[in-house]
Amino acid sequence: RLRTVTGVQTCALPILSKETGHGSLEIYNISGQKIATLYDGMMTAGAYKIINYEVPKTQRGVLTYIFRMGANKASGKMINISR
């Protein structure tokens, strides 16, 4: 979910942990380069977090996020982020 307030774009990324363990949430640009690690730490089973990300102007476009938890991962795209 993207939101723009006075020229600053933020994205709210909800994450839900199905197990207890180490989790990470990373953002990648269209070239596959990691541009940010938004979360890196322990999570408990059933934990729900909303991570807010202020999208830098230089990175607006198509971004991919990857949430890793143990051997599992989930990913998605943030598309049409205006420049």
CA separation for the pair 44, 28 (Å, rounded): 25
The stretch 14-33 carries a mean pLDDT of: 92
Residue range 26-77, pLDDT digits in tens: 999 889 999 999 999 999 999 999 998 888 777 777 889 999 998 899 999 8
CA separation for the pair 48, 58 (Å, rounded): 30
pLDDT at 66: 94
Cβ-in-10-Å burial (0-12, 13-18, 19+) of 35 comes to: middle
- For 46, residues 6+ apart whose C-beta sits below 8 A from its C-beta are 16, 17, 18
